[in-house]
Amino acid sequence: MDTEKAPVPDWLRPPPEGFTAEDLDRLPVPPHTELIDGALVLPARQTVWHSIMGNVLTEGLRRTAPEHLRVRRDMTVTLGPRQRPEPDVLVVQAEAETSMDMTTYPPEAVHLVVEVVSAESEERDRKRKPLLYAEAGIAHFWRVEQGEDGPVVYIYEIDPATKTYFLTGIHHARLTASAPFPVDIDLAEVAGPVTVYRV
């Protein structure tokens, strides 16, 4: 049995100070690669539940988003020179979209970030990324977990004095919130078998 490992390509070897946010646009990394603390975080394979949950939240937010906001998926937020995470869903200021070639948003343009937790991303989504989002001043953070009876959405709001999040609600069958704008999303449609959700 050949146990010889393939050589690591030179571009994947980080410089001494780590990769920078700009590197994500020039390196031949897979789509949805993130930069956390100067290290590349390669994407894991997505589950059906993760995909459905992202769609349900995106569609639910778009139904009630005011004119000056946009709901986006698969876009990064550049929080600093060595921080460029990619939330599963985000709500941004419409005027921040200055070009169709944009690949990232500044944190001051972001009103809400949503992370749908998977087994691979659990540590980052529960601990590191909320800290980074709060330090950057993003006002609202939602964390979505797969509970025994369906999705559970934890809603957080920032304390601007301490730049930390505090929990404002936990939602199971239905997600209702007044900020960043009034939202009412039926979560029960993804609580059962996959067949209950149709695109």
- Angle at the Cα of 55 from the Cα atoms of 169 and 152, rounded to 5 degrees: 25
pLDDT tens across 116-150, in order?
999 999 999 999 999 999 999 999 999 999 998 89
Please tell us whether the domain made up of 45-196 is placed in CATH 3.90.1570.10. yes
pLDDT tens across 68-124, in order?
999 999 899 999 999 999 999 999 999 999 999 999 999 999 999 999 999 999 999
Q: Which residues of 29-41 are buried (b: 16+ CB within 10 A; e: fewer)?
A: beeebbbbebebb
pLDDT band at 191 (very low <50, low <70, confident <90, very high): low
Closest among 20, 34, 17, 11 to 124, alpha carbons compared: 34
8 Å CB contact between 89 and 61? yes
Task: Write down the domain spans for the chain.
Answer: 45-196
